[in-house]
């Protein structure tokens, strides 16, 4: 299924079969997502959202089918390297060295994406400021509250405005005010393509250009996110 957007394809998934061991989560799954857009991915737990995101992020190798991200086939080493250099990925339960300070953690994520030393310094401070952690930038991750730690994770993956953002339940652990701040962060980020999974529709209703609904490993809907705003 193709989402009609601006004519440029950001992610093309063709005949993807994916799962764990003998259990298939996605089977013959196909989808085209427009570039330069914010795409909300919704569906019940176990539907396959996280599996799809992890595969696009090159953490899982497709069992069958292909994925092309921003013109690069992740089946090739060059394609995988391109995605990893240009990706900001925040899993639902992200892990990090709790001895690192917020500043060190964000700078490390930028270093991993290959930014220069000068660019790392500037980009890290901007990202930390966007999530309102400037006063806590020298606090170790292990000393942060759950909400502050989640904001540090958001800062790390959005720092430097990577071409592709994949965010799996990014507002988990945030209170309503912090979730509102997160929406402002996304508005400020200049990434080419954002794929965000959430069970809180309010977090994406005002932001998303397009909506993908997955149910039992199949594509139930792919199209305009205007249906989220109907009745407002």
Q: What is the CATH number of the domain that holds 14?
A: 3.40.50.300
Q: Which of 127, 162, 197 finishes a domain?
A: 162
Query: What is the average pLDDT across 154-181?
Result: 93
pLDDT, residue 213, reads 94
Query: What is the average pLDDT across 90-113?
Result: 94
**CA–CA distances in Å: residue 133 to residues 36, 145, 148, 193:** 28, 12, 8, 25
Nearest CA to 2 out of 26, 27, 30, 36 is that of 30
Please list, in sequence order, all residues whose beta carbon lies within 8 angstroms of the beta carbon of residue 49, skipping any fewer than 6 positions away: 41, 42, 43, 168, 197, 214
Are 82 and 4 part of one and the same domain? yes
Query: What is the average pLDDT across 1-8?
Result: 61
Are 1 and 81 part of one and the same domain? yes
pLDDT, residue 229, reads 73
Are 175 and 151 part of one and the same domain? no
Are 191 and 222 part of one and the same domain? yes
Three-state SS for 109?
A: helix
- DSSP tag of 36: S
b (16+ CB within 10 A) / e for 107-128: bebbeebebeeeebeebbbbbb
Q: Which of 115, 130, 162 finishes a domain?
A: 162
pLDDT, residue 228, reads 82
Are 81 and 103 part of one and the same domain? no
Mean pLDDT, all residues of the chain:
92
Q: Total domain count for the chain?
A: 2
Q: Is the pLDDT of residue 230 over 80?
A: no
Confidence of residue 119 (pLDDT cuts 50, 70, 90): very high
Query: What is the average pLDDT across 28-52?
Result: 93
Are 114 and 75 part of one and the same domain? no
Are 1 and 31 part of one and the same domain? yes
Query: What is the average pLDDT across 140-149?
Result: 94
Are 41 and 54 part of one and the same domain? yes
Please list, in sequence order, all residues whose beta carbon lies within 8 angstroms of the beta carbon of residue 169, skipping any fewer than 6 positions away: 92, 197, 198, 199
Q: Half-sphere exposure (CA, 13 Å, Cβ side) for 57?
A: 21
Q: Bridge partners of 166?
A: 89, 195
Confidence of residue 166 (pLDDT cuts 50, 70, 90): very high
Are 13 and 26 part of one and the same domain? yes
Are 12 and 77 part of one and the same domain? yes
Q: Which of 162, 197, 219 finishes a domain?
A: 162
Q: Is the pLDDT of residue 231 over 60?
A: no
210-215, strands of its sheet edge to edge: 87-90, 164-168, 193-197, 37-42, 210-215, 218-224
pLDDT, residue 199, reads 85
Confidence of residue 204 (pLDDT cuts 50, 70, 90): confident
Give the residue numbers spanning the domain of 11.
1-86+165-232
Are 124 and 137 part of one and the same domain? yes
Report residue 74 as tokens.
């992740």
Q: Is the pLDDT of residue 10 over 60?
A: yes
How would DSSP label each residue in 188-218? H---SEEEEE-S-THHHHTT-SEEEEEETTE
Contact 26, 16 (CB under 8 A): yes
- DSSP tag of 159: T
pTM for the structure as a whole: 0.92
Are 55 and 169 part of one and the same domain? yes
Share of the chain above pLDDT 90, in %: 73
Query: What is the average pLDDT across 223-228?
Result: 87
Angle at 128 between CA 115 and CA 181, to 5 degrees: 130
Report residue 17 as tokens.
């079969």
């Amino acid at each position: 299924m193709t989402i009609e957007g601006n004519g440029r394809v950001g992610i093309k998934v063709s005949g993807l079969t994916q799962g764990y061991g003998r259990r298939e989560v996605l089977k013959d799954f196909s989808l085209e997502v427009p570039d330069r857009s914010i795409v909300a991915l919704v569906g019940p737990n176990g539907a396959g959202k996280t599996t799809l995101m992890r595969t696009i992020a090159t953490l899982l190798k497709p069992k069958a089918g292909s994925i092309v991200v921003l013109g690069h086939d992740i089946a090739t080493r060059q394609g995988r390297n391109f995605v990893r250099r240009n990706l900001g990925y925040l899993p639902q339960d992200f892990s990090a060295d709790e001895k690192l300070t917020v500043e060190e953690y964000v700078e490390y994520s930028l270093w991993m994406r290959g930014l220069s030393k000068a660019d790392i310094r500037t980009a890290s401070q901007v990202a930390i400021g966007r999530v309102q952690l400037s006063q806590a930038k020298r606090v170790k991750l292990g000393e942060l509250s759950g909400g502050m730690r989640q904001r540090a994770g958001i800062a790390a993956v959005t720092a430097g405005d990577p071409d592709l953002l994949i965010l799996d339940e990014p507002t988990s652990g945030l209170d309503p005010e912090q979730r509102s701040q997160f929406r402002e962060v996304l508005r400020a980020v200049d990434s080419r393509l954002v794929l965000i999974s959430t069970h809180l529709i309010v977090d994406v209703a005002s932001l998303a250009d397009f909506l993908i609904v997955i149910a039992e490993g199949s594509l139930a809907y792919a199209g305009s996110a205007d249906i989220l705003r109907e009745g407002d």
